[in-house]
Amino acid sequence: MQQVKIFKSIESEIDSLEEEINAWIKETGAKNLHVSSNIAPQTATAPGMGSFSSSDILVTILYEA
C-alpha cells in the first residue's frame, strides 16, 4: 500500500534533516517511490533590517510499507 511521509525543517538545519530522512528510510525499510521537496523563502524579520530568518524546507516521500 502506498503511503506518504512528510519531513519539515529549516534551511539552517538541512544536515540534520538529511540525517533524519536517511535514518527513517533505514529503520523502516520503506521502498521509496517518489521524493519531492520545496523551500519557502522567508521575508525580512523586520522592515528595513535586511536580515532573514531561515527558510522552511518540506520533503515529501511517497513510499510502500
pLDDT the model gives residue 42: 75
pLDDT the model gives residue 65: 84
Tens-binned pLDDT, residue by residue, of the chain (65 aa): 999 999 999 988 999 999 999 999 999 999 999 999 999 887 665 565 556 668 999 999 999 98
List the strands of the sheet with 31-40, edge to edge.
2-10, 56-64, 31-40
pLDDT the model gives residue 47: 60
8 A C-beta contact, residue 8 and residue 39? no
Looking up cell 528595513 gives 48
Instruction: Please report, for residues 55, 60, 63, the alpha-carbon distance to residue 34 in angstroms, rounded to integers and kept in the order given.
Output: 23, 8, 7
pTM of the complete model: 0.80
Looking up cell 525543517 gives 9
pLDDT the model gives residue 34: 98
Per domain, the residue ranges of the chain are 2-42+55-64
